A = this chain, B = another copy of it.
Amino acid sequence: MRNKRPTSFDIAELAGVSQSTVSRALRRDSMVSEDTRLKVEQAARQLNYKVDVNARNLRSQRSNTLALLLYEDPGTSESLINPFFLSILGSVTRASARRGYDLLISFQQSSTDWTADYASSKRADGIIFLGYGDYTSYLEKIASLDEAGIEYITWGPVLPGQPGHFIGSDNVQGMSDAVSHLIATGHRRIAFLGDISENCPEYRDRYQGYVQALAAAGLPADPALRLDSQTSEEAGHAAALRLLDAGTPFDAIVAACDLVAIGAMHALRDRGLAVPGDVSVVGFDDIQAASYTNPPLTTVRQDTAAAGELLVENLLRLMAGRALDQTIIPARLVVRQSSRPRGPLGA
């Protein structure tokens, strides 16, 4: 037979103060003398008292909780989650914990309007979106949130005139750096693998960075060197094969993401081409697997630690009625062994 859980009234009795004083003393809002605070804390410890968060949340009308909503492409395989998102998830978790917020997570696949539930049912004070799925359904979601007056922030492409609040990597700069690196190391025929439709604005930005870097070097962006590829190793493999079969000459491949780059490396090897001997390959994301490939993949690193920090930081700013701070995170080229100098400059 276990004792009933103590309430703030029990603490009040034990400490010889009123219940409201207990409540005050246990938060850090002060307005209590050092003396009573010690008495209360002592009593609370003695009875092993813990504030009932449900009562607190009901009364204060806030939950001290953030929700992280991860939307996967319906096409994604049921069991796997994009490792890149998982990495952000990890840093968001830490960042919100550091600020005293609990984190509720949910992986959505269907486009239920469950989104708003989280906030309008007062489960969470703010929402972080990861992988928002298709853009139209995303717009519906944030519309309902705006209507309900709920704060949210989204990881994704930072575009001008966008509805909502976004935090994202500098995809243009990141890919531009990668391509500039290839050009500087003697590559001239650089293929781009990735889906640049409007469904993937981030890949679109990366492609723009690619074009930009070529232009800066006075090189044309040959349409024959751009191939569509979904976000998977298999798709990257297939895209590289299409490129090879087309007979278009090329000396490097940049991929919209690491998975595609890895698939492309396998395709090249399957056809007897050496990486980086015959072709350099560069990815984007720097997922963990990127450093384990053979050769280790040169790629553009998205700073997931900063991402989580900035997402939480800015969401809290929004919740406090303030404006966003920094929203774009620099992406950094990580040179490994899948790319190397060639031509007149190289060995």
Q: Contact residues of A with B, CB < 8 Å?
A: 2, 5, 48, 50-55, 57-58, 63, 65, 79-81, 83, 86-87, 89-91, 93-94, 97, 102-107, 116-117, 120-123, 149, 262, 288-289, 292-294, 304-305
Contacts and interface: CB of A to CB of B under 8 A. Distances in A.
Given A86-B86, A90-B86, A50 B121 contact: yes
A54 B57 contact: yes
Contact of A58 (B54, B81, B83, B292): B54
A104 B65 CA distance: 9
B63 A54 contact: yes
Contact of A52 (B50, B52, B94, B122): B122
18 contacts: A2-B149, A50-B116, A51-B121, A52-B122, A54-B55, A58-B58, A65-B104, A81-B87, A83-B86, A83-B288, A86-B90, A93-B105, A97-B107, A103-B104, A105-B105, A262-B292, A288-B289, A293-B293
A5 B120 contact: yes
Contact of A294 (B97, B149, B293): B293
Nearest to A97: B106
A105 B54 CA distance: 17
Nearest to A293: B292
Contacts of A117: 50
Contact of A122 (B53, B80, B93): B53
Nearest to A290: B292
Contacts of A63: 54
A107 B94 contact: yes
A48 B305 contact: no
Contacts of A262: 292
A172 to B, nearest CB: 25
